[in-house]
Amino acid sequence: MSFKELGLASYLLNSIAKQAYKKPTQIQEQAIPVILQGKDVLGIAPTGSGKTAAYALPILQNLEGKTKTKNRHINVLVLVPTRELAGQVEEVFKSFSQDLPFQFKSMAVFGGVSINPQMIGMQHINVLVATPGRLLELTESNAMHFDDLSTLILDEADKMLNLGFKKEMDKVFALLPKHRQNLLFSATLSPEVQKVERVLLKNPTLIQIEAEKDKLELINQVGYLVTPEKKGPLLRHLIKSNDWRQVLVFTSSVYQADLVADKLQKNGINAQAIHSKKSQDKRKTGLANFISGDLRVLVSTDLLSRGIDITFLPHVINYELPRSPKDFVHRIGRTGRAENPGNAITFVTEEDQHHIHVIQKKMKHWIKMIDTETMDLNTSANPETSSET
């Protein structure tokens, strides 16, 4: 399914293309058509599932023809639990509003900073992203009006309730026009969220997305404790001794990607690097050869990892760690498949110890570590992984 097939207008497709999103995520596929129709949605989806774009895109399209309101009359309100999320969500709206054929303005307001600039900035705002407390303060000063509000979104509703915002949320709901579209997103469907849902949503469409963590259970994850000098021999050893035929290797820099691919090639393993410095043509043929099985090892950087459109890979190797845990999950997520789980292998140096700890903690998944110090990297048998190939 493509973004176009979901019914999105061409001005949004342009902005999506600029973000280098190749295809919709699960929640985008399910939520966008329903939101475009003006229906209420209950979305149970973890962070990282692409839920912000899942609501921002159809909401922007639904605003066409409605944005010329009186000053200080907003069209859409997004309630969020934290200032960080407020900023992030507003950025997403901004990034998709570049090519809109109508006037549009968004703004984020949150506590912990001076209220005055926010009050003054509230001019011709269409989408307001707000934390509940600050929103109430602003309404008390008559900074905005809700008569033209058509959509309310609660993002990370469970977190908002956990932080004790229930009272403020109820006060905000009471200020809004009765007739409106409501979208509620939450990572969990706790009893507290259900209470809010029953009051707020009318015949909602339920969209439930499995958490990445569940998917992680489907991946055989192994870490190798290794010195930087031994990474190359270890990589060749794993590929050769297990006779792996389709391996995606991630490095953290373009320079390393080239180096790793060259070294493999010199050692008789068919490998190619694709990254932002390669021509579009080279990237395309490299990827096509890899998918068809003609290229044994593809070495890539994170920049391209999101753009690589392969549904399943048997082996993913983190030659170097990515900076963010999100990217880590994204990389290894390439191998998670119920019928035939793949291998995700991570090289960990002394220097990486702290970072891999943080990544594991964030994933809530602990990786089995193997020390390579006494491993003979010239032998062809590898007891840890050979049984899986």
State the minimum distance, in angstroms, from the CB of residue 267 to ligand AMP: 34
CB nearer to ligand AMP: pick between 209 and 238: 209
Which residues within the stretch 3-22 sit at the binding site for ligand AMP (CB under 6 A)?
21
CB nearer to ligand AMP: pick between 52 and 181: 52
**From CA 311, how far away is CA 309, in angstroms rounded?**
6
In order, the DSSP letters of 158-173 are HHHHHTT-HHHHHHHH
Coil vs helix vs strand at 185: strand
Q: How many of the chain's residues bind ligand AMP (CB under 6 A)?
A: 12
Q: How far is CA 115 from the centre of its chain?
A: 31
Which residues within the stretch 51-110 sit at the binding site for ligand AMP (CB under 6 A)?
51-53
> Which helix (H) or strand (E) covers residue 317, if one does?
strand 315-318
Cβ burial of 47 (10 Å; 0-12, 13-18, 19+) is middle
Among the listed residues 26, 47, 270, 289, the single contact to ligand AMP using CB under 6 A: 47
State the minimum distance, in angstroms, from the CB of residue 156 to ligand AMP: 10
Q: How far is CA 371 from the centre of its chain?
A: 32
What are the residues whose beta carbons fall under 8 Å from the beta carbon of 270, sequence distance 6 or more? Answer: 264, 294, 295, 296, 297
CB nearer to ligand AMP: pick between 50 and 132: 50
State the minimum distance, in angstroms, from the CB of residue 362 to ligand AMP: 14
Residue range at the interface with ligand AMP (CB under 6 A); choices 24-32, 137-145, 200-208, 350-358: 24-32
Among the listed residues 171, 180, 306, 337, the single contact to ligand AMP using CB under 6 A: 306
Verify binding: residue 261, ligand AMP, rule CB under 6 A.
no
Verify binding: residue 32, ligand AMP, rule CB under 6 A.
no
What are the residues whose beta carbons fall under 8 Å from the beta carbon of 227, sequence distance 6 or more? Answer: 349, 350
Among the listed residues 41, 42, 43, 50, the single contact to ligand AMP using CB under 6 A: 50
Among the listed residues 9, 25, 146, 265, the single contact to ligand AMP using CB under 6 A: 25
Residue range at the interface with ligand AMP (CB under 6 A); choices 47-55, 228-236, 296-304, 380-388: 47-55
Q: Are 20 and 307 in contact (CB under 8 A)?
A: yes
Verify binding: residue 151, ligand AMP, rule CB under 6 A.
no
State the minimum distance, in angstroms, from the CB of residue 155 to ligand AMP: 9
**From CA 39, how far away is CA 275, in angstroms rounded?**
41
Report residue 252: phi and psi, to 5°: -95, -10
Verify binding: residue 48, ligand AMP, rule CB under 6 A.
yes
Radius of gyration of the chain (CA): 24
Binding site for ligand AMP (CB under 6 A): 21, 24-25, 28, 47-53, 306
